[in-house]
Amino acid sequence: MLLGRGGMADVYFGALKGAEGFIRPVVLKRAVGGRGATAEQAREGLIQESRLCGLLNHPHVVHIYDLFESEQGLTLAMEYVQGTSLQSLVELLREEGGQIPWAVASRMGADVARGLHHAHHATAPDGSPLAVIHRDVSPKNLLITEDGVTKVADFGIARSSLRELTATAIVKGTPSYFSPEQARGEPLDWRTDVFSLGVVLHELFSQHYLFLKASPIATMKAILRESPPPLPDTIPRTVRTLVKHMLTKRVDQRELSMGEVADTLETAIAGRGGSERDVAQFLQAECSAQIQARRQRVSELLTGSDLLEGSSPEGGALGKHGAMELEGTSTWVALERALDHGKRLEKTVVDRTGAPNREKSSQEDTVSDQTVLDQHPYDPGNDDPGNDDPEDRYSEGPSDTPPGNDTVVDHPAFPSAKE
């Protein structure tokens, strides 16, 4: 099932098939050039992502299963997480007027912090630090399993010692979750992820966007200049203090590790309804029908009578129908929307005893999607080096919309602070 097309890869829902009826649902990412990157750049990007993620092994990080060649190109197989993204969860609650209890949100935050702590401290086989930075810690990349375990997904734009630095003309990530140093296009370290997770937690606790504005320029200005409003008194003081520290704008004063974030949150929720079991029960109460429908749809894809068998590791055709553009959304949200809205489906089977094959479902409806700005094409390299105020690069010009981005929408989960 082709989920969508990004600048460097096509993404599919698929299955890894082995001997004696073994089958595992997976998400497949195939390197494709010609849409913002050459074929060689797309291939190298996927290789670097696989090398990095292959060295991460943690229950709160989405796993990588395999990197393989086929006639269709280099393909990365990733864990399919049965559950929901945090983005989809808060969108559903927004529609129904509900919210996530602070202890449940804190459990999710602690899980994310544990996963990121592992990534920040991961080492290469020779023991050298990988210096991983995720750079896009946002609700669309946080996945919650039916068992109540939250996982960090999509290290595709992560920076580490294993990969070359991104060109300075592109600042990558989701703008409303940028750190101030990320918004300025400055060098980053693990503390940018601390700030981004602080934004996520503040929004979950307050039920309002923190920095999102009508344009990316206004959003950048808010990140750089606006102080976060106080959290409600219903949130324990230790948690409020933690989030305030995480949102410190000066990076040299944001000196807390993700391990410390997790420790503080876990201490606050101990015995107060903040276990993974509590998260699972909350999901069951709020979105069991949605998750069950997705599970049924996945089962139909995996066990349909039209399952094709291949005869060689190469060959087969990957589908090209009904895809959405992935710039601005995530692999996981695209998958959820395809399963929820009856998008035309094509199943890709990676058969270890045969060939990758394509299968079509009878559903022909396509899924609509709103574009979220994922790549922020400001060029800090073009700024006047004598300019002492980096914030001036976001001064209002003739248009608030950066070139090449006609629609700028973050996930519509929370009301703005004005509502």
Distance CA 405, CA 412 (A): 18
- DSSP letter at 176 equals G
Distance CA 189, CA 252 (A): 11
Would you list the DSSP string of 76-88? EEEE--SEEEHHH
Closest CA to 326 of 89, 1, 10: 10
CB proximity list for 343: less than 8 A, separation 6 or greater: 1, 322, 337, 363, 365, 366, 367
The catalytic residue among 10, 66, 111, 136 is: 136
At residue 162, the 3 state secondary structure works out as coil
SS3 assignment for 388-414: CCHHHHHCCCCCCCCCCCCCCCCCCCC
Distance CA 14, CA 136 (A): 25
At residue 73, the 3 state secondary structure works out as coil
Do the Cβ atoms of 217 and 176 come closer than 8 Å? no
- Locate 202 and state its tokens: 């503040």
Burial degree of 186 (CB within 10 A; 0-12, 13-18, 19+): middle
- Locate 369 and state its tokens: 């999607």
Q: Has 136 been annotated as catalytic?
A: yes
Torsion of CA 341, 85, 36, 345, to 10 degrees: -30
Rg (CA), the chain: 21
Residue numbers annotated as active site: 136
